Structure 1
Amino acid sequence: MLATPGPLPSAAVEDGWAFEVKQDGQRAVIYLPGDGTILLRARSGTDITTAYPELLPLAHALGTRSAVLDGEIVALDDRGRSDFERLQQRMGLAGSPTKAARMAGQVPAHLMLFDVVHLDGRLLTGLPYAERRGELEGLRLAGPAWSTPAAITGHGAEAWEMARGAGLEGLVAKRLTSRYEPGTRSKTWVKIKVHRVADVVIGGWVPGRGWLSGLPGAVLVGERHDGLLHYVGSVGTGWSQAERIRLAELLQSAPADTCPFTQVPPVTGARWVLPRLVGEVRYTSRTRGGRLRHPSWHRLRADLTPDDLT
């Protein structure tokens, strides 16, 4: 079951919703048949059990009880927040158990459990979220590499401020009456991301294809530090058609022969421009190298020049 992007439920209805921290990792379904074995499957259905050897002891956590659990495998940073960039070092190692075991010592994975869909031979998908959550918490699953993070009923605004202040990715709001709908992106689960804003300088663009021919498919942006323009990412979403056409006119009027960034971005087909246009973009987080994650265009800042950002 997948969540639909949306706004925070209003105060008038928030008592009918539970709020969980949105984790940034690899979604997994965990099969515990109760015979001392465990099977982890990714969203694609791929068996990823051997990629995460630190989760193998979970096979014994329920004794002979059987269960199918839903959760997110994450790698935590030094502040206890999920860090997808760190987890990427662990992903794709199901076919290399020796390397997976070595990486487990360097970048430990942690399983955040948030639902139970089958328990002791009973299919629970027809039960409301509140009842499934009660079943999950009753299992008391807390171990060296797995846990059951708290869910808060109501108090959505407070949960949101906590997530934003802690630098978390966001929240997932789940209607207390919602059934579990496998394979469905449901409006009874809503993911609300914490978006951050940055003022950036456009240093290049990549032409679009098809109906976007002649228009920017993406702009290459940077931030000014110590008088230099450092590349922070490519932005390819967030424009209306009118905004894209206007931006194309501005970009085509300011071509440059050389790349204005301190290092040439590894982008095929890039066209450079004089770094004089400032834009405001929204993003969810940054990589350790400073790149923007999930950036989207917000607006052109005609009121700012690159010199205003130094």
Structure 2
Amino acid sequence: MAPLPRLAPMLATSGSLPPSRTEHLWSAETKYDGQRALVYLPGDRTVVIRSRSGADITPAYPELHALADVLGDVPTVLDGEIVVLDEAGRPDFERLQPRMGLSGSPAKAARLAAGAPVHLVLFDVLFLAGQDLTGLPYVRRREALEQLVEAGPRWSAPRAVVGQSGRSLELAREHGLEGIVLKRLDSVYEPGRRSPNWVKIRNVRTVDVVVGGWLPGHGRLTGLPGAVLVGQYQDGALSYRGSVGTGWNERQRTELAHLLSIAAMDECPFAPEPAVPGARWVLPRLVAEVRYTALTRAGLLRHPVWHRLRPDLVPEK
């Protein structure tokens, strides 16, 4: 049996709703707050799950291994998002976070799976029965996915709605969901590329940033980070985007303090170095998702709030 092709996931660009005259060219899917995953099923009743970075995360999610039995001997590569759902059926990233990074601890992953099982939301099929589907239009790949996978106890392929972008965004907002992803019906799958043919529209503004330093807290926060200093890579250099000092609970702040201590270094990773008295620098390897209201003229985040650490991502230079 020929090996399955190793692929990188296609990524969406941030954007806005299409004009009404072209809305019929787009399909809307719910945007899920979880961990992106490509699922490799070689057709021998085994499964390999890889994160967006390509890391093997199969042992972290034992409840998804049964998908290999469902698809049997059909070699397949699927694209989706791993989530943990709350009581209302909404993705809860905080419940998922303890599962991430447990690839080396299958016993602990099994214990956590019993209490808070994950759900795999499938939205694309890239390879099927010996055929590369990435060159087919999105609408044909969706048809193949819906014919291939029936909803199971830990996975599903939610519907995509054509020509209803505005209404889909309203419904996502009403149900407390992160937003939607629009996909052109005629678009091919572009592995590893952030493509304008997929457009993500969030109900709040968020951005992925790289942590390059921190400021010590005071009072009850003594010994803990009072704020982290974040940036984004631009032309190969880490540009400063400001400081983030809210959005953590006590446990998260303590965990972050541990990660920052491990990554400590003397040299500032930002270019140019920001004028931040008392700053302590770290290796720029931690990626975080931050919510904000706008960008200042100087390119700094206005009113940033920490949303979550992204251990599944590596800094994009």
For normalisation by structure 2, the TM-score amounts to 0.65
**Which residues of structure 2 form unaligned runs of 5+?**
1-9, 206-225, 232-239, 248-274, 281-288, 297-317
> Partners of 1:25 and 1:216 in 2: how far apart?
25
Please give the secondary structure, in 2, of the residue aligned with 1:144. coil
State yes or no: 1:84 paired with 2:93.
Answer: yes
Structure 1's 205 and 34: CA in aligned 2 closer, same or farther, altered over 3 A? closer
> Partners of 1:23 and 1:125 in 2: how far apart?
22
> Partners of 1:299 and 1:65 in 2: how far apart?
48
> Partners of 1:45 and 1:106 in 2: how far apart?
27
CA apart distance, 1:10: 2.0
Which of structures 1 and 2 has the bigger CA Rg? Answer: 1
Structure 1's 26 and 220: CA in aligned 2 closer, same or farther, altered over 3 A? closer
Structure 1's 167 and 122: CA in aligned 2 closer, same or farther, altered over 3 A? same
> Partners of 2:56 and 2:230 in 1: how far apart?
37
> Partners of 1:146 and 1:32 in 2: how far apart?
14
State yes or no: 1:51 paired with 2:72.
Answer: no
State yes or no: 1:67 paired with 2:79.
Answer: no
Please give the secondary structure, in 1, of the residue aligned with 2:20. coil
**Which residues of structure 1 form unaligned runs of 5+?**
197-203, 210-214, 223-247, 249-266, 270-292, 301-310
Deviation digits for residues 146-171 of structure 1, max 9, x if unmatched? 11011001111111110010010000
Aligned residue number for residue 312 of structure 2: none
State yes or no: 1:217 paired with 2:242.
Answer: yes
Please give the secondary structure, in 1, of the residue aligned with 2:192. coil
State yes or no: 1:30 paired with 2:56.
Answer: no
Deviation digits for residues 227-280 of structure 1, max 9, x if unmatched? xxxxxxxxxxxxxxxxxxxxx9xxxxxxxxxxxxxxxxxx977xxxxxxxxxxx
Percent identity, please. 56
> Partners of 2:81 and 2:241 in 1: how far apart?
36
CA apart distance, 1:43: 1.2
Aligned-residue CA RMSD in angstroms? 3.0
Aligned residue number for residue 254 of structure 2: none
> Partners of 1:207 and 1:111 in 2: how far apart?
33
CA apart distance, 1:73: 0.5
Aligned residue number for residue 156 of structure 1: 165
1:11 and 1:156 in contact (8 A); partners too: no
Aligned residue number for residue 262 of structure 1: none
State yes or no: 1:134 paired with 2:143.
Answer: yes
Deviation digits for residues 38-69 of structure 1, max 9, x if unmatched? 11111111111111000011001122211110
Aligned residue number for residue 256 of structure 2: none
Aligned residue number for residue 185 of structure 1: 194
Please give the secondary structure, in 2, of the residue aligned with 1:191. strand
Amino acid at match of 2:42: P
Structure 1's 101 and 219: CA in aligned 2 closer, same or farther, altered over 3 A? closer
- After superposition, where does 1:127-276 map in structure 2 within 5 Å? 127-195=136-204, 217-218=242-243, 220=245
Match of 1:40 among 49, 52, 74: 49
CA apart distance, 1:142: 1.3
Aligned residue number for residue 16 of structure 1: 25
**Pairs aligned (count):** 227
Please give the secondary structure, in 2, of the residue aligned with 1:192. strand
CA apart distance, 1:11: 1.6
Structure 1's 206 and 80: CA in aligned 2 closer, same or farther, altered over 3 A? closer
